[in-house]
Structure 1
Amino acid sequence: MTLLFVEDDSMIGESTCVLLKQAGFNVHWAKTGTQALQLFDNHDYEFVLLDLGLPGLDGTQVLQRIRKVSDLPILILTARDNVEDRVSGLEQGADDYLVKPYHIDELLARIRALLRRAKGATQTEYMLGDIKIIPAAHAVYKNDQLIEVSAKEWSIIETLAATPNCIFSREQLEQKISEKQDILQSNTIEVHIHNIRQKLGKNFIKTIRGLGYKIGNLEQ
């Protein structure tokens, strides 16, 4: 998944780009509003991270121009934390607003939430080879045969399938499951992933050394 990241602060931009790439995103970084629009006109993006305080053409103008031609998710990143600025950004077409300094885990969570929202009700199933996942039914099929999975196994499958190009750390998966289930043991994620692979194949969930887990290449 390719996203456009617009940020003029070199320190924030460099560190955020590294973390976004580690999470599985392909990132194009623009340091000015003019550069952002040039990139936007020449590439197909699925998401925009947009700072407001840009030199020259500011983030609000960039937001307005993108919104004239596209409804892709836009998350504003800015040091402007007063209510008026937040309301103005949302009314002009932003989908969400995150105030600096932000934590990368919260940033990733908001990106994933907006991507899920953008897919909407039309996303009824995912395919990976002979595996079919139907989120609304909490059902997983292999070769058209229904596979029984536990609630925690389903939570992992659903989380990874919703954003197939993203890498989730063990801690992120633990947090996701614990929102719906009980407190987890330290090795719970590894155990459940092992069980999922036993049921759906060893390549269904890939281990990205030093980073975490991602699902295979899903067809949507």
Structure 2
Amino acid sequence: MIIIVDDRDLVRQGFSGMFQRIGYPVYGVSGEELPGWLESICSNEIESIEAFLVGQTNIDFCPVAKIRSITKLPVIGVLEQNSLPDILQLFEAGADDVVRKPIHVREILARIAAIRRRREVTRTVFEYGRLRVYTDGRDPEIDGKCFPLPRRERRILEYLASNGERRATRSQIYNAVYGLFEQDVEECVIESHISKLRKKLRKVLGYEIIDSKRFLGYRLAIKVDQSSVGESDRDVEIASGSFGQDLQATLG
């Protein structure tokens, strides 16, 4: 999720529309609302945030410095025009990057990915056997070929890939896909999205790649190749099977 900090409703709505068209939820907050909002969110919700975009605000304190005092997530300043004093002030306050409007949202995502890469927080490409997942807005690939997905399903796949071995709960996935404060969509819709995504991936890959555990959540898992099982492992399986048959015969 992308957080837009700007006092102008039109700017927040404009960024929201552009990001949501490529599947990224956005939450807008004014400069005046920012301190209370930062205090109200919990650590689980912060994990769903990918970056802050800070635009024009009419407040006495610096919003970039306020955000930086709470989190180390990427912060990008957005200026209306080139101004060296403003650029330097944003960097001194802790901004990771400064851009000038107009700017395409895909460029913003690329800059966010670059910031995270420099910090070694996350990668932008994840390999799961034949499946390759990107986190910069591109569709995934299977066997090197583009595998188009609806934006919600693609965002779920991206989130699971970036989550690594950790399982993601339905609530965490919902926050990443729809945002923290979405009121019009029920959380249970995530299960429907995941079900459709699993079927599509299983049809092409031939196996289940989304592993789910009740009460624990979801994660991506690489298929175990049965042909790679060692002879000793098969001997144990055979021995176990023979022991079970002998035990049944004895008890019978």
Aligned AA (2:117): R
Asked if the contact 1:48–1:75 (Cα under 8 Å) also holds between the matched residues in 2, the reply is yes
Look up the match of 2:35. Answer: 37
CA 1:117–1:212 in 2, change beyond 3 Å: closer, same or farther? farther
1:94 alignment partner, SS class: coil
Q: Is 2:59 the partner of 1:56?
A: yes
Asked if the contact 1:168–1:214 (Cα under 8 Å) also holds between the matched residues in 2, the reply is no
> Cα RMSD between the aligned structures?
3.5
The offset of 1:93, in angstroms, is 0.4
Look up the match of 2:186. Answer: none
> Partners of 2:87 and 2:20 in 1: how far apart?
27
> Partners of 1:141 and 1:107 in 2: how far apart?
26
Asked if the contact 2:74–2:96 (Cα under 8 Å) also holds between the matched residues in 1, the reply is yes
Please tell me whether Structure 1 or Structure 2 has the larger radius of gyration of its CA atoms: 2
Asked if the contact 2:2–2:25 (Cα under 8 Å) also holds between the matched residues in 1, the reply is yes
Percent of aligned pairs sharing the same letter:
21
Asked if the contact 1:19–1:104 (Cα under 8 Å) also holds between the matched residues in 2, the reply is yes
What are structure 1's unaligned runs of at least 5 residues? Answer: 127-132, 134-139, 148-152, 174-192, 198-203
> Partners of 1:104 and 1:13 in 2: how far apart?
13
Look up the match of 1:117. Answer: 118
> Partners of 2:72 and 2:103 in 1: how far apart?
25
TM-score by length of 2: 0.51
CA 1:117–1:208 in 2, change beyond 3 Å: closer, same or farther? farther
> Partners of 2:107 and 2:124 in 1: how far apart?
27
Look up the match of 2:138. Answer: 168
Asked if the contact 1:50–1:74 (Cα under 8 Å) also holds between the matched residues in 2, the reply is yes
Asked if the contact 1:207–1:214 (Cα under 8 Å) also holds between the matched residues in 2, the reply is no
Asked if the contact 1:4–1:36 (Cα under 8 Å) also holds between the matched residues in 2, the reply is no
CA 1:18–1:123 in 2, change beyond 3 Å: closer, same or farther? closer
CA 1:206–1:214 in 2, change beyond 3 Å: closer, same or farther? farther
Aligned AA (1:54): T
Aligned AA (2:149): T
Aligned AA (1:40): L
Asked if the contact 2:7–2:57 (Cα under 8 Å) also holds between the matched residues in 1, the reply is yes
Asked if the contact 1:79–1:99 (Cα under 8 Å) also holds between the matched residues in 2, the reply is yes
Asked if the contact 1:205–1:214 (Cα under 8 Å) also holds between the matched residues in 2, the reply is no
Aligned AA (2:138): F
Aligned residues: 155
1:69 alignment partner, SS class: coil
TM-score by length of 1: 0.57
